[in-house]
Amino acid sequence: MLNPADDALAALLPDGVLRPITPVYLEEPRGRYRGQAGLVAAPRSTEEAAAIVRACAQARVGIVARGGGTGLVSGQVMPEGPAPLILSLERMTALRGLWPEENVLVAEAGMTLQAVRDAADGAGRLFPLSLASQGTAAIGGCLATNAGGVTALRHGTARALCLGIEAVLPDGRVLRDLKRLRKDNTGYDLRDLLIGAEGTLGIITAASLRLVVPPAATGVAMLQVPSPQAALTLLSLAEGRMAGGVTSFELISGQGLAFLSQTLPQIRQPLPGAPWSVLLEVGLPEGLPPQTALEALLVDAMERGLVQDGVIAQSGQQAAEFWNLREHLPQANRLIGAIASHDISLPLSEIAGFIDAAGAALAPHDVRINCFGHLGDGNLHYNLFPVAGRARGDYDGQRKALSRMVHQMVMDRGGSFSAEHGVGRLKVAELEEWGDPVRLAAMRAIKAVLDPLGIMNPGAVLSQAPA
């Protein structure tokens, strides 16, 4: 087990890296876990980060890396066991380089996603990753959790946008692989192994990121669809018509709109009361005005019965309004207060059946369902809420069974219980239950050989092996 010998550890750390511990280092957004108060160290350089890791290895103290702290599966707080050192990337926020002509940017891990996006924008380029929390989320955390967001349909998740990484491995050595190359087939893909490993195999300190040239024009529409199945057929139609130019395809439920009306009535709803709608964004070539292309899609889709009503944004401001609605759905959910949230993915052809079956299975349990999210990726946020007049607490005894029921139905259809948020500490039991045992054994073997002391984010992703 780990040794919380903070005084001994402090003496081993580089000068000036310790920070006063404040509550923010111990919190995670869902409030499900609270971290223990150990040391907080914020390196100013990769070398300092490596020295901190070496010190922790020597003192046998666990390390929890922390970026913006926005992760939703409690990978950033360690509530049990000996208190860890929290390694905050807050001082490693440099833009190390920007090569617009290469569509490449190298960022330190503590840069916020918004800052990365702004830097790209300032050079006439786009870093496509986009999340509601991007003003706070650090790019290192986005990579450690392989964040998804609203543009993964077109541009992939964080993994697909990373060309190379610099990382401190568990023994304190620095992996230097910040290449600015699209193609490099020289050995095992350690980059993708560390991406999504949630700080359990090393700490990403910097990354080489792939930018894109922004499309000549973008267009946004909100379309009312008769069903999620119709939405998926619409997506295929749109992808063919738009030649892969569909950037986002977000499902919005009537329940989500109702929560929005109730909690954030100032947000204008272009399709009020629509039981199902989608927010569609396209990026299109020069010579094809998005409104023309979207109108033609709308006509085609209405003729096929795939769309019942629709609004095409007539200005950038209106497009921003549509997105503002989408981005406030999670806030409305928080204001209502979910009983349980699920970040699931399904094979696309299983989605409609799942929504029907899960709705039927949950009907006797007196809950409201807000099912929304990145439909184009097969990724739904399937969240359960109390019926009007009842409180979250009334469901305390049911929560676990309800979540299990949802996850079981997802797994039975070849889906995933964590599409984009990761495993963290919240879903370790789910991974143990549903993960392929051969895959789990290989993961444990890799963890054991790269982190034999078990100091990297102990208890996240994989349950902690007994000492």
Binding to a copy of itself in span 100-119, by CB under 8 A? 101-104
State whether residue 282 is helix, strand or coil.
Answer: strand
**Options 9-17, 306-314, 397-405, 421-429: segment touching a copy of itself (CB under 8 A):** 421-429
Q: Tokens at residue 187, please?
A: 């050995």
Q: Between the CA of residue 84 and those of 44, 87, 171, what are the distances in Å? A: 20, 9, 16
Query: Quick one: which of 38, 270, 283, 458 contacts a copy of itself (CB under 8 A)?
Result: 283
Q: Between the CA of residue 244 and those of 148, 153, 420, what are the distances in Å? A: 18, 9, 22
Interaction pattern, residues 378-417, with a copy of itself; x per rule: CB under 8 A: xx----------------------------------xxxx
Told to check if 99 binds a copy of itself by CB under 8 A, we report yes
For 60: left if phi > 0, alpha if psi spans -120 to 50, otherwise beta; the answer is left
Binding to a copy of itself in span 323-362, by CB under 8 A? 345-349
Half-sphere exposure of 282 (CA within 13 A, CB side): 26
Q: Between the CA of residue 199 and those of 64, 74, 211, 313, 382, what are the distances in Å? A: 7, 12, 24, 41, 27
Told to check if 435 binds a copy of itself by CB under 8 A, we report yes
156 CA to centre of own chain: 12
Query: Quick one: which of 299, 387, 442, 465 contacts a copy of itself (CB under 8 A)?
Result: 442
Told to check if 239 binds a copy of itself by CB under 8 A, we report yes
Alpha-carbon gap, residue 51 to 2, rounded angstroms: 18
Query: Quick one: which of 7, 186, 265, 266 contacts a copy of itself (CB under 8 A)?
Result: 186
Least distance in angstroms from the C-beta of 367 to a copy of itself:
25
Give every strand in the sheet of 162-168, ordered side by side: 95-99, 104-108, 203-210, 162-168, 174-177
Told to check if 460 binds a copy of itself by CB under 8 A, we report no
Told to check if 160 binds a copy of itself by CB under 8 A, we report yes
Told to check if 219 binds a copy of itself by CB under 8 A, we report no
Nearer to a copy of itself, 137 or 332 (CB): 137
Sequence-ordered alpha helix ranges (H) in 310-393: 316-336, 351-362
Q: Between the CA of residue 363 and those of 136, 195, 368, 372, what are the distances in Å? A: 37, 39, 9, 18
Backbone torsions φ then ψ of 455, nearest 5 degrees: -95, -10
Count of residues near a copy of itself by CB under 8 A:
103
Query: Quick one: which of 1, 11, 24, 243 contacts a copy of itself (CB under 8 A)?
Result: 243
**Options 4-12, 15-23, 170-178, 381-389: segment touching a copy of itself (CB under 8 A):** 170-178
State whether residue 160 is helix, strand or coil.
Answer: helix
Told to check if 66 binds a copy of itself by CB under 8 A, we report no
Binding to a copy of itself in span 130-159, by CB under 8 A? 145-146, 148, 152-154, 156-157, 159
Closest listed residue to residue 181, CA positions, set 108, 99, 94:
99
Told to check if 213 binds a copy of itself by CB under 8 A, we report yes
Query: Quick one: which of 245, 270, 330, 386 contacts a copy of itself (CB under 8 A)?
Result: 245
Told to check if 175 binds a copy of itself by CB under 8 A, we report yes
**Options 2-10, 52-60, 259-267, 443-451: segment touching a copy of itself (CB under 8 A):** 443-451
Query: Quick one: which of 387, 429, 448, 465 contacts a copy of itself (CB under 8 A)?
Result: 448
